[in-house]
Structure 1
Amino acid sequence: MVATLKIENLSIKYHTLDDETEAVKNLNLDVNDGEFISIVGPSGCGKTTILSAIAGLLRPSSGKIYLDGSEINYPCNKNCNKIGYMLQRDHLFEWRSILKNVTLGLEIQNKFNKNSVKKIEDMLQKYGLLSFKDYYPHQLSGGMRQRVALIRTLATDPEILLLDEPFSALDYQTRLAVSDEIYKIIKDEGKTTIMVTHDIAESISLSDRVVVLSKRPAQIKNIYDIKLSVENRTPLKSREAPEFRYYFNAIWKELDIHVE
């Protein structure tokens, strides 16, 4: 398979006047085209730091990150237009309608035009939100807001999606339902995806591979290829697969849960 993203010997250190903290150490990872990868690890181990470096928001102390063979530099270079970053909370602007929230990225990139509005309306129609385009965020449920946030991220047509705990603000039942919906959208759009999560079950149910990190400084302890015997896979169906418990127990044992 073709590697869309390549991380080579990535190390990241944070400096203060008095101290130095090594967050990531010599991390190497290839992410293939169309693949869904989850990154799990103990709290504070550097998961979000890695996403920030991929997005060009953070300068690596050493090492390089490539997207389609071209290096991602800090501050953001032209490659950053190929990256969509969806944060923990939807960050929808309450004073803008749903349609205007979705067009925001295109406006920032000076790509907003009549054709882009038609494309966005088609996406809203496809994913059951067109009738809400003139609503405001406070009028939508948490799950619908997350769908809007994802469509806003997809509207700029990124090659790779970065998801930072995208379901953490939702209650458990909504989280299960929305993970199914967002998984379908991502697969329909054919996007390469890297997700950071604390939820082992979530990582297994959504991913092609799960990357397990050590405690800080983050290094890769293991990578699990997720092979589940389910037809027409969805996150909910994945949780019913007989192999699911094996992966859960194996990943749980890998985690360093006692972090200073």
Structure 2
Amino acid sequence: MAGSRATKLPRETYEKELLRLQTELVKLQEWVRAEGVRLIVVFEGRDAAGKGGTIRRVTEHLNPRVARIAALPKPTERERTQWYFQRYVEHLPAGGEIVLFDRSWYNRAGVERVMGFCTEEEHRRFLRHCPTFERMLVEDGFLLRKYWFSVSDVEQQRRFRRRLTDPLKRWKLSSMDLESITRWEAYSRAKDEMMEATDIPESPWYVVESDDKRRARLNMIAHLLDSVSYRDVPPPALELPERPPPSGYTRPPREHQTWVPDHAARL
């Protein structure tokens, strides 16, 4: 599949709409907090599909005590002996919280499946158990949204090349990412199998076309907001108090403290 950049969204349009959507995300956050809602948002997709950048835009203006990111490292030896979903359950939101999973329990259906990090039986068991697990979450009152970021092979290759030469993005590129290039079709088959088994009415998959990162971010955030029946919760009325008059406090001399050098003055 080849992507096209001809219709890339203009930056000015993107930034204006992003700010509007982020304002709505703050309203969503306050509704979640006021109503004790438990919101789970799952971000999945190929390497370099734009998940991380979208998550950063979602959380940019949110309260980290309300909205947090769960990006789990590879399991420890102890976690490998647990029930597969157990370590993810520990990160589920309590009332009044939002958790965004930067990859999730679907690791078993993707990288573990393709790279041979799980057995065939473990993979089949996951596909059987995952719909039941998610139905349990939804029936218990969690709001669950699942997004798959779809990137073309051409665009993924371009982003990998940029990461190789960009010192700010080089850390994003791992040997596992490079391995995914040679296993493109295997990942495609694994994704199709995962979708067929886990795209259920209670927790459907929503696919985000992500060759244009700006467009993908706006589309995903707008869909999330449209999918939740939140309301605007008015903030409590606050007034700045009058500052009391001085009572004799004297600030210590500057030379008694160690100040950060004024690097900006040398620019």
Above 0.5 in TM-score? no
Write 1 or 2 for the structure with the bigger share of strand: 1
Larger radius of gyration: 2
TM-score, normalising length: structure 2: 0.30
TM-score, normalising length: structure 1: 0.31
Ranked by relative contact order (alpha carbons within 8 Å, sequence separation 6 or more), the top structure is 2
Write 1 or 2 for the structure with the bigger share of helix: 2
